[in-house]
A = this chain, B = another copy of it.
Protein backbone atom coordinates (compact mmCIF):
# COMPACT_ATOMS: atom_id res chain seq x y z
CA UNK A 1 0.00 0.00 0.00
CA UNK A 2 2.76 2.38 1.02
CA UNK A 3 4.64 1.32 -2.09
CA UNK A 4 1.71 2.03 -4.35
CA UNK A 5 1.24 5.48 -2.85
CA UNK A 6 4.89 6.16 -3.38
CA UNK A 7 4.64 5.00 -7.02
CA UNK A 8 1.68 7.28 -7.65
CA UNK A 9 3.56 10.15 -6.05
CA UNK A 10 6.52 9.44 -8.32
CA UNK A 11 4.24 9.38 -11.35
CA UNK A 12 2.94 12.81 -10.43
CA UNK A 13 6.49 14.09 -10.59
CA UNK A 14 6.93 12.44 -13.98
CA UNK A 15 3.76 14.08 -15.25
CA UNK A 16 4.92 17.44 -13.95
CA UNK A 17 8.15 16.98 -15.89
CA UNK A 18 6.25 16.05 -19.05
CA UNK A 19 4.36 19.32 -18.81
CA UNK A 20 7.46 21.45 -18.25
CA UNK A 21 9.27 23.58 -20.82
CA UNK A 22 6.46 23.41 -23.32
CA UNK A 23 7.31 25.21 -26.56
CA UNK A 24 6.52 28.91 -26.71
CA UNK A 25 5.25 28.26 -30.25
CA UNK A 26 1.48 28.26 -29.82
CA UNK A 27 0.73 25.65 -32.49
CA UNK A 28 3.27 23.24 -30.99
CA UNK A 29 2.11 23.94 -27.43
CA UNK A 30 -1.50 23.25 -28.45
CA UNK A 31 -0.64 19.89 -29.99
CA UNK A 32 1.66 18.91 -27.15
CA UNK A 33 -0.82 19.88 -24.44
CA UNK A 34 -3.60 17.99 -26.20
CA UNK A 35 -1.46 14.86 -26.37
CA UNK A 36 -0.36 14.93 -22.73
CA UNK A 37 -3.67 16.18 -21.37
CA UNK A 38 -4.95 12.67 -20.91
CA UNK A 39 -2.60 10.14 -19.34
CA UNK A 40 -2.70 6.60 -20.55
CA UNK A 41 -1.91 3.71 -18.25
CA UNK A 42 1.73 4.82 -18.17
CA UNK A 43 2.85 1.25 -17.66
CA UNK A 44 6.29 1.87 -19.15
CA UNK A 45 6.89 4.85 -16.87
CA UNK A 46 5.72 2.74 -13.92
CA UNK A 47 8.09 -0.06 -14.92
CA UNK A 48 11.07 2.24 -14.98
CA UNK A 49 10.06 3.79 -11.64
CA UNK A 50 9.61 0.39 -10.02
CA UNK A 51 12.88 -0.87 -11.42
CA UNK A 52 14.79 2.22 -10.26
CA UNK A 53 13.06 2.32 -6.86
CA UNK A 54 15.92 0.36 -5.33
CA UNK A 55 18.00 3.49 -5.19
CA UNK A 56 15.86 6.48 -4.44
CA UNK A 57 18.99 8.61 -4.16
CA UNK A 58 18.73 8.90 -7.94
CA UNK A 59 15.87 11.29 -7.15
CA UNK A 60 15.01 13.50 -10.07
CA UNK A 61 16.89 11.31 -12.53
CA UNK A 62 14.31 8.57 -11.90
CA UNK A 63 11.50 10.92 -12.89
CA UNK A 64 13.40 12.17 -15.88
CA UNK A 65 14.04 8.65 -17.14
CA UNK A 66 10.35 7.78 -16.80
CA UNK A 67 9.39 11.01 -18.62
CA UNK A 68 11.78 10.18 -21.48
CA UNK A 69 10.19 6.75 -21.83
CA UNK A 70 6.69 8.26 -21.87
CA UNK A 71 7.79 10.70 -24.58
CA UNK A 72 9.21 7.90 -26.73
CA UNK A 73 6.07 5.82 -26.23
CA UNK A 74 3.72 8.68 -27.08
CA UNK A 75 5.70 9.54 -30.21
CA UNK A 76 5.23 5.97 -31.46
CA UNK A 77 1.50 6.04 -30.60
CA UNK A 78 0.97 9.24 -32.60
CA UNK A 79 2.81 7.80 -35.59
CA UNK A 80 0.86 4.55 -35.24
CA UNK A 81 -2.38 6.48 -35.43
CA UNK A 82 -1.19 8.02 -38.70
CA UNK A 83 -0.09 4.62 -39.99
CA UNK A 84 -3.39 2.95 -39.01
CA UNK A 85 -5.51 6.02 -39.86
CA UNK A 86 -7.05 5.69 -36.37
CA UNK A 87 -9.70 8.30 -35.57
CA UNK A 88 -9.48 7.92 -31.78
CA UNK A 89 -6.99 7.28 -28.99
CA UNK A 90 -7.70 6.96 -25.26
CA UNK A 91 -11.35 7.81 -25.83
CA UNK A 92 -10.64 11.12 -27.54
CA UNK A 93 -9.95 12.07 -31.15
CA UNK A 94 -6.46 11.26 -32.44
CA UNK A 95 -4.06 14.01 -33.55
CA UNK A 96 -4.45 13.00 -37.21
CA UNK A 97 -8.20 13.25 -36.80
CA UNK A 98 -8.41 16.70 -35.17
CA UNK A 99 -5.45 18.09 -37.07
CA UNK A 100 -3.96 16.24 -40.09
CA UNK A 101 -1.62 13.35 -40.89
CA UNK A 102 1.10 15.96 -41.45
CA UNK A 103 0.65 17.23 -37.89
CA UNK A 104 0.77 13.65 -36.58
CA UNK A 105 4.03 12.92 -38.37
CA UNK A 106 5.72 16.16 -37.31
CA UNK A 107 4.58 16.36 -33.68
CA UNK A 108 5.60 12.70 -33.38
CA UNK A 109 9.09 13.67 -34.60
CA UNK A 110 9.12 16.63 -32.25
CA UNK A 111 8.27 14.52 -29.20
CA UNK A 112 10.65 11.78 -30.29
CA UNK A 113 13.57 14.18 -30.62
CA UNK A 114 12.63 15.87 -27.36
CA UNK A 115 13.06 12.46 -25.71
CA UNK A 116 16.57 12.26 -27.16
CA UNK A 117 17.40 15.78 -25.96
CA UNK A 118 16.43 14.77 -22.40
CA UNK A 119 18.25 11.46 -22.77
CA UNK A 120 21.50 13.27 -23.52
CA UNK A 121 20.90 15.48 -20.46
CA UNK A 122 20.46 12.35 -18.35
CA UNK A 123 24.05 11.55 -19.21
CA UNK A 124 24.09 7.74 -19.12
CA UNK A 125 25.56 6.14 -22.21
CA UNK A 126 24.16 2.73 -21.32
CA UNK A 127 20.63 4.09 -20.99
CA UNK A 128 20.95 6.01 -24.28
CA UNK A 129 22.19 2.83 -25.94
CA UNK A 130 19.27 0.78 -24.64
CA UNK A 131 16.60 3.35 -25.50
CA UNK A 132 17.88 4.16 -28.98
CA UNK A 133 18.16 0.49 -29.85
CA UNK A 134 14.67 -0.15 -28.43
CA UNK A 135 13.29 2.72 -30.55
CA UNK A 136 14.90 1.26 -33.62
CA UNK A 137 13.44 -2.18 -32.92
CA UNK A 138 9.96 -0.77 -32.29
CA UNK A 139 9.91 0.76 -35.78
CA UNK A 140 11.31 -2.53 -37.09
CA UNK A 141 8.38 -4.38 -35.48
CA UNK A 142 5.90 -1.96 -36.97
CA UNK A 143 7.46 -2.34 -40.43
CA UNK A 144 7.39 -6.13 -40.20
CA UNK A 145 3.75 -5.96 -39.19
CA UNK A 146 2.96 -3.61 -42.07
CA UNK A 147 4.62 -6.02 -44.46
CA UNK A 148 2.54 -8.88 -43.04
CA UNK A 149 -0.80 -7.25 -43.81
CA UNK A 150 -3.09 -9.74 -45.50
CA UNK A 151 -0.56 -12.53 -44.99
CA UNK A 152 -2.59 -15.52 -43.78
CA UNK A 153 0.42 -17.82 -43.97
CA UNK A 154 2.36 -15.92 -41.30
CA UNK A 155 3.84 -18.18 -38.64
CA UNK A 156 3.15 -18.04 -34.91
CA UNK A 157 6.77 -17.35 -34.14
CA UNK A 158 6.73 -14.39 -36.53
CA UNK A 159 3.68 -13.02 -34.71
CA UNK A 160 5.52 -13.46 -31.43
CA UNK A 161 8.49 -11.53 -32.87
CA UNK A 162 6.17 -8.68 -33.81
CA UNK A 163 4.68 -8.58 -30.30
CA UNK A 164 8.14 -8.47 -28.81
CA UNK A 165 9.49 -5.72 -31.06
CA UNK A 166 6.32 -3.63 -31.04
CA UNK A 167 5.57 -3.81 -27.35
CA UNK A 168 7.77 -6.14 -25.31
CA UNK A 169 10.93 -4.31 -26.33
CA UNK A 170 10.05 -0.96 -24.73
CA UNK A 171 8.66 -2.66 -21.62
CA UNK A 172 11.98 -4.48 -21.35
CA UNK A 173 14.00 -1.30 -21.98
CA UNK A 174 11.98 0.62 -19.37
CA UNK A 175 12.82 -1.90 -16.69
CA UNK A 176 16.42 -2.31 -17.84
CA UNK A 177 17.06 1.44 -17.87
CA UNK A 178 15.59 1.78 -14.38
CA UNK A 179 18.04 -0.88 -13.22
CA UNK A 180 20.93 0.71 -15.12
CA UNK A 181 20.21 4.06 -13.51
CA UNK A 182 20.87 2.46 -10.12
CA UNK A 183 23.99 0.65 -11.34
CA UNK A 184 22.27 -2.60 -10.42
CA UNK A 185 23.89 -5.99 -10.63
CA UNK A 186 23.47 -8.00 -13.81
CA UNK A 187 21.27 -10.55 -12.08
CA UNK A 188 18.69 -8.00 -10.96
CA UNK A 189 18.89 -6.12 -14.27
CA UNK A 190 18.29 -9.25 -16.32
CA UNK A 191 15.51 -10.60 -14.10
CA UNK A 192 13.48 -7.43 -14.06
CA UNK A 193 14.08 -6.83 -17.80
CA UNK A 194 12.90 -10.35 -18.59
CA UNK A 195 9.90 -9.97 -16.36
CA UNK A 196 8.99 -6.67 -18.09
CA UNK A 197 9.58 -8.07 -21.56
CA UNK A 198 7.12 -10.91 -20.98
CA UNK A 199 4.69 -8.51 -19.32
CA UNK A 200 4.84 -6.45 -22.50
CA UNK A 201 4.04 -9.45 -24.65
CA UNK A 202 1.10 -10.32 -22.35
CA UNK A 203 -0.03 -6.72 -22.73
CA UNK A 204 0.10 -6.96 -26.53
CA UNK A 205 -1.74 -10.29 -26.63
CA UNK A 206 -4.43 -8.80 -24.39
CA UNK A 207 -4.59 -5.84 -26.78
CA UNK A 208 -5.18 -8.18 -29.69
CA UNK A 209 -7.89 -9.97 -27.67
CA UNK A 210 -9.64 -6.73 -26.66
CA UNK A 211 -9.86 -5.70 -30.30
CA UNK A 212 -11.87 -8.90 -30.98
CA UNK A 213 -14.04 -8.55 -27.88
CA UNK A 214 -15.29 -5.37 -29.41
CA UNK A 215 -16.44 -3.15 -26.56
CA UNK A 216 -15.71 0.19 -28.20
CA UNK A 217 -17.02 2.37 -25.39
CA UNK A 218 -14.71 0.82 -22.84
CA UNK A 219 -11.82 0.53 -25.29
CA UNK A 220 -11.89 4.23 -26.13
CA UNK A 221 -11.12 3.34 -29.74
CA UNK A 222 -12.86 1.44 -32.55
CA UNK A 223 -12.97 -2.36 -32.23
CA UNK A 224 -12.33 -5.07 -34.84
CA UNK A 225 -9.76 -2.72 -36.32
CA UNK A 226 -7.11 -5.40 -36.83
CA UNK A 227 -9.18 -7.61 -39.10
CA UNK A 228 -10.53 -4.55 -40.96
CA UNK A 229 -6.99 -3.32 -41.58
CA UNK A 230 -5.95 -6.75 -42.81
CA UNK A 231 -3.70 -7.33 -39.78
CA UNK A 232 -3.35 -10.97 -38.85
CA UNK A 233 -3.15 -11.02 -35.05
CA UNK A 234 -3.36 -14.03 -32.73
CA UNK A 235 -7.16 -14.55 -32.65
CA UNK A 236 -7.30 -14.54 -36.45
CA UNK A 237 -4.15 -16.63 -36.74
CA UNK A 238 -5.47 -19.43 -34.51
CA UNK A 239 -8.94 -19.36 -36.06
CA UNK A 240 -7.42 -19.58 -39.54
CA UNK A 241 -5.17 -22.44 -38.50
CA UNK A 242 -8.22 -24.37 -37.25
CA UNK A 243 -10.45 -23.52 -40.22
CA UNK A 244 -11.51 -25.94 -42.95
CA UNK A 245 -11.21 -24.78 -46.55
CA UNK A 246 -14.71 -23.28 -46.55
CA UNK A 247 -14.13 -21.38 -43.34
CA UNK A 248 -10.75 -20.21 -44.65
CA UNK A 249 -12.56 -18.67 -47.62
CA UNK A 250 -14.92 -16.82 -45.28
CA UNK A 251 -11.98 -15.56 -43.19
CA UNK A 252 -10.19 -14.48 -46.39
CA UNK A 253 -13.15 -12.28 -47.33
CA UNK A 254 -13.19 -10.75 -43.84
CA UNK A 255 -9.50 -9.83 -43.70
CA UNK A 256 -9.03 -6.26 -44.88
CA UNK A 257 -12.77 -5.67 -45.27
CA UNK A 258 -13.56 -2.34 -43.63
CA UNK A 259 -17.30 -3.05 -43.58
CA UNK A 260 -17.21 -6.55 -42.14
CA UNK A 261 -19.99 -7.46 -39.67
CA UNK A 262 -18.67 -7.39 -36.10
CA UNK A 263 -21.08 -10.12 -35.04
CA UNK A 264 -20.02 -12.45 -37.84
CA UNK A 265 -16.34 -11.93 -37.11
CA UNK A 266 -16.87 -12.53 -33.42
CA UNK A 267 -18.86 -15.64 -34.17
CA UNK A 268 -16.41 -17.35 -36.50
CA UNK A 269 -13.28 -16.40 -34.52
CA UNK A 270 -14.83 -17.82 -31.35
CA UNK A 271 -16.15 -20.92 -33.05
CA UNK A 272 -12.69 -21.71 -34.43
CA UNK A 273 -11.08 -21.29 -31.00
CA UNK A 274 -9.27 -18.08 -31.98
CA UNK A 275 -9.98 -16.47 -28.62
CA UNK A 276 -9.40 -19.60 -26.56
CA UNK A 277 -6.02 -20.38 -28.11
CA UNK A 278 -4.91 -16.75 -27.81
CA UNK A 279 -5.77 -16.90 -24.11
CA UNK A 280 -3.65 -20.02 -23.82
CA UNK A 281 -0.75 -18.25 -25.49
CA UNK A 282 -1.17 -15.39 -23.02
CA UNK A 283 -0.89 -17.93 -20.21
CA UNK A 284 2.53 -19.01 -21.52
CA UNK A 285 3.83 -15.45 -21.24
CA UNK A 286 2.04 -14.83 -17.94
CA UNK A 287 3.95 -17.79 -16.54
CA UNK A 288 7.25 -16.58 -17.96
CA UNK A 289 6.60 -13.19 -16.42
CA UNK A 290 5.78 -14.77 -13.04
CA UNK A 291 8.89 -16.96 -13.07
CA UNK A 292 11.10 -13.89 -13.54
CA UNK A 293 9.11 -11.91 -10.98
CA UNK A 294 9.71 -14.60 -8.36
CA UNK A 295 13.43 -14.00 -8.63
CA UNK A 296 12.98 -10.38 -7.53
CA UNK A 297 12.94 -9.02 -3.98
CA UNK A 298 9.58 -8.99 -2.29
CA UNK A 299 8.59 -5.32 -2.69
CA UNK A 300 9.52 -5.07 -6.36
CA UNK A 301 8.12 -8.53 -7.04
CA UNK A 302 4.73 -7.46 -5.66
CA UNK A 303 4.70 -4.35 -7.82
CA UNK A 304 5.54 -6.31 -10.97
CA UNK A 305 2.83 -8.86 -10.21
CA UNK A 306 0.34 -6.04 -9.67
CA UNK A 307 1.20 -4.63 -13.10
CA UNK A 308 0.77 -8.11 -14.54
CA UNK A 309 -2.67 -8.39 -12.93
CA UNK A 310 -3.63 -4.98 -14.29
CA UNK A 311 -2.50 -6.03 -17.76
CA UNK A 312 -4.44 -9.30 -17.64
CA UNK A 313 -7.65 -7.89 -16.19
CA UNK A 314 -7.81 -4.65 -18.10
CA UNK A 315 -10.84 -3.90 -20.21
CA UNK A 316 -9.16 -1.12 -22.22
Contact = CB atoms under 8 A, between A and B. Distances in A.
Interface of A: 23, 25, 27-28, 31, 76, 79, 82-84, 101-103, 105-110, 112-114, 116-117, 119-121, 123, 125, 128-129, 132-133, 135-136, 138-140, 142-144, 146-147
A132 B146 CA distance: 28
Nearest to A121: B129
A101 B101 contact: yes
A253 to B, nearest CB: 22
Would you call the interface of chain A mostly helix, strand, loop, or mixed?
Answer: helix
Contacts of A76: 109
Given A101-B101, A128-B128, A106 B120 contact: no
15 contacts: A25-B144, A28-B143, A82-B102, A84-B102, A109-B112, A109-B135, A110-B143, A113-B132, A113-B138, A116-B128, A116-B135, A119-B132, A120-B128, A120-B132, A128-B128
Contacts of A116: 116, 128, 132, 135-136
Contact of A139 (B110, B121, B129, B142): B110
A119 B135 CA distance: 13
Given A125-B123, A128-B120, A139 B109 contact: yes
A146 B103 contact: yes
Nearest to A111: B139
Given A28-B143, A125-B123, A117 B105 contact: no
A129 B117 CA distance: 6
Contacts of A142: 106, 109
